[in-house]
Chains A and B, each alone.
Chain A
């Protein structure tokens, strides 16, 4: 049998990559919810109909796990150390990312550069669009009602709730993402980071900096 070692009777459970057999709910002793049951049923039907395979599903989950904000921070660190790259990143992030052997997928991501005069912030007021191919899965707060409602009307206040207090003379530009157009923030390189390597610089760039709710930590201890 060219298949793996699971017998046919267990095949249906292969949709669950983390709990092979015996089948168990995601959380011990917690009955499956209606939607979790629906998820398992839909997965099994799609596999039975050969629309997707269990192998494809496992691979897709592994792929999604591999997409983390480290990708975005690598692009930022390169932009900080190479002005030509920065210009290319802002002009066409997909093309620029290939220079770092990174595929950012088919959906355009616009990179918005912070300057001493302008701070950028991203949101998706209608749903949860997010530069997933650079930052991974969006955090819960990004999808929250309060963030979606208030980021565009009182961004300065929202930023201060994240501990980011900007001077009143800094203009805040908020970018509302859509299904077909995503944004990522290119933060400003912190002062005192002149001697740092590109790799160390990347370590300063957190996910929240690239959403725009935080600023990169200073090179010296903050």
Chain B
């Protein structure tokens, strides 16, 4: 098949029945959504909807398939903040290690 569409462009493809699933948003999902919303507002203007979508599409087919919905948002949002030098790779890495240590989790 010579379908040159990118992985997110799936309209019209075949698939099984729609599973009528839903869940109440988890607190961390709401926080991702709220951060996204704040970064997009007029005060900050750091992240447009289109930028987020581009960021999600740029995660690549593999991550797109493996990550769940808000994981994609979170990964894309972090990448965009790094690209815009709002955060540095170093400080994000250090902060993540700090958060993880505080939670008593074993390193992944």
B1 CB within 8 Å of chain A: no
The answer to whether B95 and A137 have CB atoms under 8 Å apart is no
The answer to whether B96 and A126 have CB atoms under 8 Å apart is no
Tell me which of A74-82, A90-98, A150-158, A194-202 binds B: A150-158
| A: number of interface residues (CB 8 Å) | 62
The answer to whether A126 and B8 have CB atoms under 8 Å apart is yes
Least distance between B12 CB and chain A CB atoms (Å)? 5
Partner of B14, one of A36, A149, A151: A149
The answer to whether A52 and B30 have CB atoms under 8 Å apart is no
A:98-143 near B, CB below 8 Å: 107, 123, 125-129, 137, 139-141, 143
The answer to whether B35 and A52 have CB atoms under 8 Å apart is yes
A145 CB within 8 Å of chain B: yes
The answer to whether A128 and B69 have CB atoms under 8 Å apart is yes
Chain B contacts to A: CB under 8 angstroms: 8-23, 25-28, 30-35, 37-39, 44, 46, 48-50, 53, 56, 67, 69-71, 74-75, 77-78, 81, 86-87, 91-92, 95-96, 98-100, 102-103, 105-106, 108
Besides A26-B26, A41-B95, 20 more A-B contacts (Cβ < 8 Å) are: A34-B108, A36-B28, A37-B99, A37-B103, A39-B28, A42-B35, A45-B95, A49-B86, A57-B34, A61-B34, A139-B21, A141-B18, A145-B15, A146-B15, A146-B16, A146-B18, A149-B12, A149-B13, A162-B18, A179-B49
